[in-house]
Chains A and B, each alone.
Chain A
């Protein structure tokens, strides 16, 4: 009995990693890609490609645990990248430009949170509206074209070979890792984190226990907005231009990552670690498929199937527990 429960805990602990390991094992055993797939340069490039979705997924994890959703994440990323480009182009110092980009994201998130709590609308509707509004503002700001900006150190945030070279990975990747650790700790060990879980698990109970639901939700959406803003800065860094049409549909990738990682759309469950694994499962799949020379549509079909299978497996795992 005890033995069994120990195995169970091991499986439960490994559970989220299994999918990722499976994907990596599959690709590293296919002869065509074997000698390139698990190589440092490739791993670096996968990590760099994951940064933007990962940053978005950190905020999205909080929102989904609280029982909400944010459809405006990708538009927010585009808007923030345009604002950053705009600021650099206008001759602002890079640091200020980054700051403005991140703050723009935060403001969009703040608007989401405030509208959801004050108008008592469902998050789906508010953020669906914001998806259009933010994208529109981005195009407007950019004059419906790309904003070229002079090269600065901002563009090195996402460089595959970073300077100084002892960094080994792009500064953006390091930021992703640091923020992931910080957010994981906040979610698990902070009062704020517990409140998010309580709201998502049962909002009525949370209210009864004196948790300030409106305030908590506004903070959650603002924080998620800030992460999207940072994602936007990374997007700009990668593209070296501010493109208002970038990242269309990326919000679905972000949501998929959270859901693959065990987040429940009805709220109350999810984790940063899980979401990050979700992000990497998708990145490795894309990377592997590209290496195989498979066309885009194959990737789409596989990732679509992965989402359904991952969530189904997760549910079975939880059902077995009790």
Chain B
């Protein structure tokens, strides 16, 4: 790939990036979230078209028109979320879309042979072709996906965060498969945040940052420290308004809290007027922790103390009564009811000011909402319009305004600045600072290090489900956070 660029609106996702992949090599693609890795890979797979630049496949220019086109040319993608039909068998999944038939009838023997051969190639004959995929472990499913790619005679295999949902053992099995594929002449693009893994499997690597290529070379030539430096090495722009705030008493305390979907117990405490950042990679357990605190996931072990009252069980409505507010990272599917109006969405968690004898005083509610719209600076023509007609940034502001309207004093914010423009981001930072100076407590989950370092008082880093370390922000820097998040040890 030569000189590939891609812009999405005002943001430059890729800026003149080159990538060279040799036959039979494992090439790691590294970078922070949003560095442009997935855009690059999507261009290769035909899902996104580049604005400029050319791809050469075995010496010939190649411009895939669709993912199908690119698959036909031997480029297979294996995503984080596996794309298998759970009710079908292993064989049916491997052969899906390329069933061998005569006059519409499946030629079972030949298909079986082909599936066997693919599974043999990666030495996983223990997986029975007749088993339903839903009965397989996550690791085994990934093996099936790779087998599918082999049946398609893939020349290039793209693995996007393949180990993020795998256990240690399954990861080892995957590395074995990768080695075997290499000897078959298959080239692999390997995207991962786990740097030690990359050192183990990759021959060469390319580091991207802010859509630009920072480094490309042999894996053995760079140290872990250099890699981390290259990934984060950006100067923090001063877009983080400093609003002085003082921390007070402990307001929320987790004692060995473990929720249904958390991998480990977590201890944590939060004070009035404090902004606590939770750093870590995607899937490190930060979201799950917030959801357990808010009662969205059931508590399995441990307890939490809210304003000196110990509880373990709780549903969102009890947490809201205790003064908590939660902002979901998934605005579309969870954060907002998109067919309801701005007014409804903003007030949904707190109807009490407008309630009289079970009925709503709509005029009063509309008037109050107008104040919030002004306060949070939401651009909306008619507050009775469904929220899906608003832009992403404005939708996020509606979701945030809901927490204000709810008069929460413990804010659990999950990726509040994801996917919104810089100006809205900066407004949200300022708003968080003001909340803290009013004595509110904030837990701030973010995958964007500069903002964590910019506005948090304390930062806790998660790695594969457990809290690695929590320290005041002044004792962290981008490098040490990245080390803790990618290696799981205090750096």
Contacts and interface: CB of A to CB of B under 8 A. Distances in A.
Interface of A: 189-192, 194, 197-198, 201-202, 204-212, 268-269, 322
A38 B349 CA distance: 49
Contacts of A210: 315-317, 319-321, 349
A41 B388 CA distance: 48
B281 to A, nearest CB: 24
Interface in B287-345: 294, 296, 315-317, 319-321, 326, 328, 333-340, 344-345
Contact of A201 (B296, B335, B338): B338
A207 B316 contact: yes
17 contacts: A190-B360, A191-B355, A191-B360, A194-B348, A197-B344, A198-B337, A202-B340, A205-B335, A205-B345, A207-B316, A208-B316, A209-B320, A209-B402, A210-B317, A212-B315, A268-B340, A322-B388
B358 to A, nearest CB: 5
Nearest to A264: B339
Contacts of A208: 294, 296, 316, 326, 328, 334-335, 349
Interface string B336-376: 11111000110011010001001110100000000000000
Contacts of B294: 208
Nearest to B324: A210
A194 B344 CA distance: 8
User: Which DSSP category, helix, strand, loop or mixed, fits chain A's interface?
Assistant: helix
Contacts, number: 77
A284 to B, nearest CB: 31
Interface string B394-417: 000000001000000000000000
Given A208-B316, A208-B328, 8 more contacts: A189-B360, A197-B344, A198-B337, A208-B334, A208-B335, A209-B402, A268-B339, A322-B388
B337 A202 contact: yes
B389 interface: yes
Contacts of B333: 202, 204
Q: Which of A190, A202, A210, A322 has the most CB of B within 10 A?
A: A210
Contacts of B336: 202, 205
A198 B315 CA distance: 17
A202 B335 CA distance: 9
A205 B337 contact: yes
Contact of B340 (A191, A197, A204): A197
Contacts of B337: 198, 201-202, 205-206, 268
B369 to A, nearest CB: 13
Contacts of B344: 194, 197-198
Interface residues of B, number: 32
Contact of B351 (A194, A197, A201, A205): A194
A66 to B, nearest CB: 12
B334 A202 contact: yes
A210 B319 CA distance: 8
B338 A202 contact: yes
Contacts of A209: 316, 320, 348-349, 402
Contacts of B340: 197-198, 201-202, 268
Contact of B334 (A189, A198, A205, A268): A205
A206 B339 CA distance: 13
A318 B336 CA distance: 20
Contacts of A269: 339
B317 A212 contact: yes
B485 to A, nearest CB: 27
Contact of A206 (B321, B348, B360, B389): B348
Contacts of B349: 208-210
Given A191-B351, A197-B340, A210-B316, A204 B358 contact: no
B57 to A, nearest CB: 42
B316 A189 contact: no
Interface string B130-160: 0000000000000000000000000000000
Contact of A189 (B319, B362, B386, B388): B362
The 3 A-B pairs of least Cβ separation, nearest first, read: A209-B349, A210-B317, A210-B320
A101 to B, nearest CB: 27
Contacts of B402: 209
A208 to B, nearest CB: 6
Nearest to A204: B334
B359 A189 contact: yes
Nearest to B354: A191
Contacts of A322: 386, 388-389
Nearest to A266: B339
Contacts of B359: 189-191
Contacts of B345: 205
Contacts of B355: 191
Contacts of B386: 322
A194 B360 contact: yes
A192 B358 contact: yes
A213 to B, nearest CB: 9
Contact of A207 (B296, B338, B339, B388): B296
A198 B388 CA distance: 14
A211 B360 contact: no
A134 to B, nearest CB: 30
A192 B337 CA distance: 16
